[in-house]
């Protein structure tokens, strides 16, 4: 029998924290292993309980969710734990910081229970999850940054033309199925290209591929770069 996905719930509001825990515990295949009311408690809980996924609030007292995510993802003993960030506002100024810290996914708290539960399963399986509004926020952040704050495009020199095409579509928020249909490729071929991109760009997951595409200049807020 498959082991349930172990979830740690981190939120500074007890009512929300309890609600998320009940939702997780009443869903087959998931189990809540603990709660945390601060970022520091989330880090300690991740080390002690070794959850598969941490549902992470951003705005918590003391250590916030971004710093907690950085500690969890960066520590050897919790490197296998995935962080799914939940926030109230789609224009939260910390979206980019959370992704840079290593969050595997980002959803709004007003999302439906079904989408949240699917998100937990998605990040637990090693995939990344970005709500469409979060992708738009990420694009806006890169549009705001001056070119000198972005990494040079040479970091993509090792990619083939097809891999660049796939990376552009990943950055635009398309799923593997969407990319398959758009480029007329089999799902297996798309997965192969994604795997090669992760390897060549030393990216942990899909969220980091999105960041690489924008930081390199391959994709801009207005559209793909001229050489992409």
What pLDDT score was predicted for residue 134? 61
Low-confidence ranges of the chain (pLDDT < 50): 147-154, 222, 225-228
Return all residues near 158 (Cβ < 8 A) that are at least 6 apart: 200
* Integer angstrom CA distances of residue 224 from 27, 166, 169, 170: 41, 12, 9, 12
Q: Do 52 and 124 touch, CB atoms closer than 8 A?
A: yes
Tally of CB atoms within 10 A around 211: 19
What pLDDT score was predicted for residue 65? 92
Q: Do 123 and 53 touch, CB atoms closer than 8 A?
A: yes
Name all domains of the chain by residue range, CATH numbers in brackets: 5-139 (3.40.50.2300), 146-215 (1.10.10.10)
Pairing of strands 30-36, 105-108: unpaired
Torsion of CA 82, 73, 32, 210, to 10 degrees: -30
What pLDDT score was predicted for residue 203? 81
What pLDDT score was predicted for residue 228? 39
What pLDDT score was predicted for residue 171? 82
What pLDDT score was predicted for residue 1? 62
What pLDDT score was predicted for residue 148? 45
What pLDDT score was predicted for residue 141? 60
What pLDDT score was predicted for residue 89? 63
> DSSP 3-state assignment of 92?
coil
C-alpha span between 60 and 66 (Å, rounded): 10
Q: What is the pTM of this model?
A: 0.70
Q: What is the separation of C-alpha 175 from the centre of its chain, rounded to a whole number of angstroms?
A: 14
């Amino acid at each position: 029998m498959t082991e349930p996905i172990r979830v740690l719930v981190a939120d500074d509001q007890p009512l929300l924290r309890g609600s998320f825990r009940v939702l997780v515990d009443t869903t087959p295949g998931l189990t809540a292993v603990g709660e945390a009311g601060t970022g520091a408690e989330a880090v300690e809980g991740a080390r002690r309980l070794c959850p598969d996924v941490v549902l992470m609030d951003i705005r918590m007292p003391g250590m916030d969710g971004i710093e907690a995510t950085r500690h969890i993802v960066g520590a050897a003993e919790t490197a296998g734990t995935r962080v799914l960030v939940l926030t109230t506002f789609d224009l939260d100024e910390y979206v980019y910081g959370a992704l840079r810290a290593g969050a595997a996914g980002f959803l709004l708290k007003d999302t439906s229970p079904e989408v949240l539960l699917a998100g937990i399963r998605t990040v637990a399986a090693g995939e990344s999850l970005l709500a469409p509004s979060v992708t738009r926020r990420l694009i806006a952040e890169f549009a705001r940054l001056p070119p000198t704050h972005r990494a040079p495009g040479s970091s993509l020199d090792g990619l083939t033309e097809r891999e660049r095409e796939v990376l552009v579509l990943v950055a635009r928020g398309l799923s593997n199925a969407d990319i398959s249909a758009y480029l007329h490729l089999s799902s297996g071929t798309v997965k192969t290209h994604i795997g090669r991109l992760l390897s060549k760009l030393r990216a942990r997951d899909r969220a980091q591929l999105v960041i690489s595409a924008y930081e390199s200049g391959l994709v801009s807020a207005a559209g793909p770069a001229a050489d992409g």
